[in-house]
Each structure stands twice: as structure tokens, then as C-alpha cells.
Amino acid sequence: MEPEKMQKITIALDAMGGDNAPHEICKGAILACREHADLEIVLTGDEEKIKPCLSEASSDVLKRIRRVHAAEAVSMDEQPTAAIRRKRDSSMRVAMEMVRAGEAQGCLSAGNTGAIVAGGVLVVGRLPAIDRPALGVPLPTINRWTFLLDVGASVRSRPLNLCQYARMGNVYSKKILGVAEPEVALLSNGTEEIKGDEVVAEAREMLMKSSLNFRGYVEGDDVPWGRADVVVCDGFMGNVILKFGEGLMQGAKSIIEEEMGHRFMPRIGVLFMIPMARALWARFNYEKYGGTPLLGVRGTVVKAHGRSKAPAILGALSAARNFIIRDGVGQIREELE
Amino acid sequence: MEPEKMQKITIALDAMGGDNAPHEICKGAILACREHADLEIVLTGDEEKIKPCLSEASSDVLKRIRRVHAAEAVSMDEQPTAAIRRKRDSSMRVAMEMVRAGEAQGCLSAGNTGAIVAGGVLVVGRLPAIDRPALGVPLPTINRWTFLLDVGASVRSRPLNLCQYARMGNVYSKKILGVAEPEVALLSNGTEEIKGDEVVAEAREMLMKSSLNFRGYVEGDDVPWGRADVVVCDGFMGNVILKFGEGLMQGAKSIIEEEMGHRFMPRIGVLFMIPMARALWARFNYEKYGGTPLLGVRGTVVKAHGRSKAPAILGALSAARNFIIRDGVGQIREELE
């Protein structure tokens, strides 16, 4: 396709969000522009700090990276709603305002999760059929990608919220991950009907009557074994198990590395162990999921992990681009209205 | 020590509980009697079915294994309280009655978890200072054993329950696991004070004022990294993350095994990979924790994993024996009254 005929995709990127901002964020933007010829990125944040981070970019890439100055930044431990309300000139809010104004089709931030959710609701706006948005994450499991939500947009949820998460997750699995007939399940403390707390039990009743391919409860071990395409839980639970999984795999990685440096291990053994470590890491690396979409808002809003470095930002930008190309927001709106 | 002077420890073992009953349960009893010369086991259950399982035992071991006939069994999916109430002659209830009557110092079952908890309360009895008992499990982490509770005695908890779990966990960590000054923490969706739901937040306030070495909230990844000695959560959460961790490590194991059988992997490589796989498995094998004590009841009641085979039953019997020797029940009573 000729460049001038190509449909451009513009993503506003919060250059000041996350533990490695702005350097790794900008580097991620450069990587993404190299990978996707249709991508245009607007970096929002402190002009003075962003500029030097772009020195390595080629002129072709630089043509597709704009900068919009934002004097403030939302810090990681700030009270989310207050930060979004008061810091009108923060890099995060400016990126979100661009989505609301239609100047960008989506935005991405590795910053304060609560503020991203608050901004999604207050700046970008909720979809009318959704009471609360949800953060979802495609998790690598033993045999498929399982979309887990909510992983932290809210803390606790009512049964109605869980049902809406289930329906949004179903759309995401079908339209973005390409699963023909997603199996949807509720995360519980056992698979039997008598399990669950009151909230989960009521959501189960509601989902049984829905048109979803709903298979009832799944247990904790059903997640890594990939026994459903969409797993629904409240944000408190989702947050804890996502981080628990990350920690467990990082712990396993550090044990493997320790074992590789072990004095009783002949050097040659290391060569043989690398493919295994790599296979394990590739399959279960919970840091690599590349962007957590905020579902239920009127635009594409994606959160990247706070510890993201350039490759993770590239992954999250690719996920955001994919969500835009497949009209994720439109698909959810259509399904739920 | 002369055998006749040895302090005997009697444990009633539900021979009919769990997926591999009665064969693997009986085999576990034999292994435990071989390992611990002071151990006497009373197998409760169907006499006809138990007898052939003991054919391999030596006469020395057989002297220390008694059988008590129980005509009924509690199945895995039965409604717990009803099962314990109605099935007075079930192998599980008979084992618990022996603890109540002082004929055994403790009991173990790999059966229906809910029924074990119901039996703990209804048959063995709660400690007066405890509103609800908790199931706790010592988890292997990167640098220590972390005692996680509740992993499923209840579903949801009130703040007071969480505080009692914290105090019981503190005693277990100190007296049974030998930690001098256990660090106690609440599992939450972030470490900052503003995180948590209402229940966890109120428990946090209460624990701040307690005499425990309380360090506030920990997150999901703090569990595998071993950032506390005692981690407290409600039974719904504890159940899900325990099973999630089990599933993740089993998944990792199956990937390692698959990789070992890979056609591009030279046979010799397998030899080098075995120590690594073993190191990983030894450190994070969540199935190996060997028995989950029910804390807060008037006797030693230990639950083994439903999928337990003989080595797991041995582990759980050893854990129960240790709990009895160190007077776990007395220690908790003393601390909480």
C-alpha cells in the first residue's frame, strides 16, 4: 500500500507514566513506529525531558512522533480521582483529552492504574450500558489465551458488574483474540453449584440465563490450565492473582538462573537448559502480556505495566493498535446496547 | 529411648477420604509408622476395604495400626454440615469423635474440606476465643516458609475474623515453624494505605493496634517472594490463589517434561535439565506442603489434599504429629485467651 493511502492510527502516549518514564516510554514509541508503518504517536509530557529521549530515532520515525507539552504528571501513589480532576495539565489527562476530542484514536499509559481508570470514566467517558469499566488481560495458559477480568479497575463488584465484565470479555475474546465461541466462566472457590460467595452465586444465576457460552464456575488451577477463554472475577481478586502469578514466575526464573550458575552444574549443561527456560518463560511470562485494555469506555484506553521497559511499551502499543483496527469499542457498544 | 518409655502419639486417620482412598491412605499410614516409631494410627472406615490395603505392612508396623469400622463415608461433593450431622457413622466423623473423646490426639482426612471444617466445629469444637476456625498452609517461597491463612475454612470473613487468623498464624509461625518474630501481613490489592476493600481496611486498623509484628498490606507477588511470615486473607481468596499456584507449577512441570521429550533436544541435555527441574519443583511444589491444619478448634485436625497419594499422607501425618508434639492447640488457646 502507498504510504499516503494508508489509514493512519494515532495513539496518544503518556510519556511520564510508569517507573521507567520518560526514557523507556519514548524508546517503546520508536520501536512501535518502526514496527507499524501506519502508527502515529503523540507523546504527552514534559517537552524538555522528552526531547532528548528521541535523539536515536530515524527521520522517518520522527515524522510520526509528535510531542504535546504537559506540565504536570500523575505520580504512582496519588489519590486517583483527585489527581485526574485537579491535574488538568498532566501528561495522562492530556493524552485522554486527545481521545475524547477525537485527535487520537486511543491512548496508553504505564502510570497510576487508579488514575487511568478514573480518567477513562471522567475524561473519555463510560459507555451508557456499562456501570463500571474493567481492566482485562490476556494470559498465556497451557493451551490457549485466557482473558481475565477485572484485574483492578474496581475493588469489589456487584453481580451485575460481573455479568457486564463477562459480556465485555466475551466480545474481546471473540473479536480481538479471534475465539469463535468463547467459553466464559466465573472464578470461584470450587466448581460445584454450592460454592462461591453471595455475589458470585448471584452472578452465576444471571449468567446461566444469558446467551453466553457460560460454563459456570472455574477454580484457581483452571486458569493456568486454560479451562476457559474468559474468566471473570472482581478487581481485588484479579489484581492479587495476576501479581501472584507474576511473582511466582519471576521466582521460578530466579531459581533457574541460580541453578545455572551453580558450581556443581557443568558449564555445558547451561546450553541445554536455555531452551527449556525459554520455553517456560515464553509460555508463562505474565509481564509480557502487552497492555491491559480498559473495557467499557468510549475510546481505546490501554494500561501498560508500571515496570514496563521499551519492549513492553511496544507490546502495549501493538495491543492498542490492534484494538483500534478491530474496533473494539464499537464491538462492545454493539454487543451491550 | 526404650520403646515402652516412649510417649505414644495416636492419630485417627479417615481411611475413606480423598480421591485415592482407601489404598493410598493406608499406604501413607504404613510409611508414617515406619518413619515415626512413636506413632500409632487408627484407621477409620470400611473394615472390608481397609484390611487388604494393609497386607504389605510388616508386623512391627501392623502392631501400631488399629482399625475402627465406620459404615459410611462423606463424599467429596456432599453438603458439608448436613453430611457431618447426619452421617454419624462416617469414617470422618468417627475419626473426629475419637479426638473429642481423647482417644486420639489428632485426626487427619483427605476428604471433603467443608465437612472437615464442619466436623472441626461441631464434633471437636471451637476454641472459646475463636469465632471461626481457619485452614492454614505453610507455602514454600523464594526465601522462607510463608504461612497463608485462611485457605478455605470460610468463604468471606469479617475484620474480626481476619484479626483472629492473624493471631493464630502468628502462633503457628512462631511455635511450629520456629520463626522468632513473625512478620504478619494482610493480603491486599496494593501496599498503600488507601488500598483494600472495607473489610481488609478495617482489619488493618485493628491489627495496627495489636501487639503483633504487623507490617500492613502485602500484594500478590509478595507471597512467592516471601515478604512476610504470615499472610492473612479470606478463604475465598486463599482457596483461589493456592489452587492457582498449584496449577501454575503443574503447568510449568508439564512444559518442562514436554521440552525434555522434544525432538530437537539431544538426549544428553535431559541429564543436565533434571537438577534444575528438581530444584524448581522442590522449591515451589505447592502439593508437597503436607497437611493443612485447621486452627481454632479444641484438637488437632489436619486436612490433606484431596488428590493425596501415600507420600502426601505421610507428609500430612508428620505435620499432624509435629503439631501435637509442640502442643499447637494449647499454644493457640494460651495466646488468644
* pLDDT beyond 80 at A262: no
B206-235 pLDDT, tens digit per residue, is: 999 999 999 999 999 999 899 999 999 999
Domain at A1, CATH number: 3.40.718.10
Pair B49, B113 in one domain: yes
A267 touches chain B (CB under 8 A): no
> ∠ CA(A49), CA(A53), CA(A55), 5° rounding?
125
* pLDDT beyond 70 at A187: yes
Pair A276, A300 in one domain: no
| Band of pLDDT at residue A161, cut at 50, 70 and 90 | very high
* pLDDT beyond 90 at A184: yes
Contacts of A75 in chain B (CB under 8 A): none
* pLDDT beyond 60 at B259: yes
The mean predicted confidence, pLDDT, of chain B is 90
What is the model's pLDDT at position B284? 57
Phi then psi for A175, rounded to 5 degrees?
-90, -30
Q: Is residue A30 a contact partner of residue A61, using CB atoms and an 8 Å limit? A: yes
Distance from CA of B3 to the nearest CA of A (A): 42
3-state helix, strand, coil split of chain B in percent (to 5) is: 45, 15, 35
Distance from CA of A228 to the nearest CA of B (A): 14
pTM across the whole model: 0.91
Distance from CA of A146 to the nearest CA of B (A): 14
* pLDDT beyond 70 at A281: no
What is the model's pLDDT at position A253? 73
Domain count of the fold of chain B: 2
Q: Is A209 part of a structural domain of the chain?
A: no
Q: Which of A215-224, A253-262, A283-292 has the lowest mean pLDDT?
A: A283-292
Q: Is residue B24 a contact partner of residue B308, using CB atoms and an 8 Å limit? A: yes
Contacts of A241 in chain B (CB under 8 A): 220, 240-241, 244
B22-44 pLDDT, tens digit per residue, is: 999 999 999 999 999 999 999 99
The mean per-residue pLDDT over the stretch B297-301 comes to 98
What is the model's pLDDT at position A143? 82
* pLDDT beyond 90 at B261: no
Percentage of residues of chain A with pLDDT beyond 90: 78
A40-70 pLDDT, tens digit per residue, is: 999 999 999 999 999 989 999 999 999 999 9
Q: How many CB pairs under 8 A join A and B?
A: 183
Among B75, B202, B243, B258, most A C-beta atoms within 10 A, so best to mutate, is B243
The mean predicted confidence, pLDDT, of chain A is 90
DSSP code for B146: E
> ∠ CA(B168), CA(B174), CA(B180), 5° rounding?
140
Q: Is A33 part of a structural domain of the chain?
A: yes
| Band of pLDDT at residue A113, cut at 50, 70 and 90 | very high
* pLDDT beyond 50 at A1: no
Cα A22 from Cα A42, distance rounded (Å): 13
Pair B156, B216 in one domain: yes
Prediction ipTM score: 0.89
Q: Could you say which of A77, A156, A248 has the minimum Cβ distance to residue B224?
A: A248
Percentage of residues of chain B with pLDDT beyond 70: 89
Q: Where do we find the cell 475465598?
A: B236
* pLDDT beyond 80 at A71: yes
Q: Is B189 part of a structural domain of the chain?
A: yes
Pair B88, B104 in one domain: yes
Residue closest to B134 by CA, chosen among B230, B220, B221, B66: B230
B271-292 pLDDT, tens digit per residue, is: 555 665 666 666 555 455 578 9
Q: Is B137 part of a structural domain of the chain?
A: yes
B259 and A272 in contact by Cβ < 8 A?
no
Q: Is A122 part of a structural domain of the chain?
A: yes
Pair B174, B276 in one domain: yes
Q: How far is CA B57 from the centre of its chain?
A: 26
Q: Which residue of A has its CA nearest to B268?
A: A272
Q: Which residue of B has its CA nearest to A255?
A: B280
> ∠ CA(A183), CA(A148), CA(A292), 5° rounding?
130
Q: Where do we find the cell 537448559?
A: A273
Q: For the CA atoms of chain B, what is the radius of gyration?
A: 21
Q: Is A16 part of a structural domain of the chain?
A: yes
A188-205 pLDDT, tens digit per residue, is: 999 999 899 999 999 999
* pLDDT beyond 70 at B20: yes
Burial, A100: exposed, middle or buried (Cβ in 10 Å; 0-12, 13-18, 19+)?
A: middle
Q: Could you say which of A252, A264, A270 has the minimum Cβ distance to residue B284?
A: A252
Q: Could you say which of A220, A233, A244 has the minimum Cβ distance to residue B220?
A: A244
Cα A193 from Cα B277, distance rounded (Å): 37
Pair A333, A260 in one domain: no
A256 and B276 in contact by Cβ < 8 A?
yes
Pair A118, A88 in one domain: yes
Q: Which letter, b or e, does each residue of A44-79 get, where b requires 16 or more Cβ atoms within 10 Å of its Cβ?
A: bbbeeebeebbeebeeebeebbebbebebbbebebe
DSSP code for B9: E
Pair B262, B220 in one domain: yes
Pair A333, A254 in one domain: no
Pair A69, A117 in one domain: yes
Q: Which three cell numbers stand for residue B329?
A: 492447640
* pLDDT beyond 80 at A288: no
Q: Which three cell numbers stand for residue B301?
A: 485436625
A236 touches chain B (CB under 8 A): yes
Interacting residues of A113 by C-beta distance below 8 A, sequence separation 6+ = A80, A135, A152, A303, A306
Q: Is A266 part of a structural domain of the chain?
A: yes
Q: Which domain holds residue A265?
A: 250-280
Pair B39, B186 in one domain: no
Name residues 125-144 of chain B within 8 A of A (Cβ).
141-142
Contacts of B233 in chain A (CB under 8 A): 240
B117-151 pLDDT, tens digit per residue, is: 999 999 999 999 999 999 999 988 888 889 999 99
Q: Is A63 part of a structural domain of the chain?
A: yes
Among A240, A250, A257, A286, most B C-beta atoms within 10 A, so best to mutate, is A240
Pair B261, B178 in one domain: yes
Q: Could you say which of B247, B262, B280 has the minimum Cβ distance to residue A252?
A: B280
Contacts of A248 in chain B (CB under 8 A): 224, 245, 248-249, 284
Q: Is residue A17 a contact partner of residue A112, using CB atoms and an 8 Å limit? A: yes
Name residues 172-211 of chain B within 8 A of A (Cβ).
187-190, 192, 194, 196-197
What is the model's pLDDT at position B1? 46
What is the model's pLDDT at position B115? 97
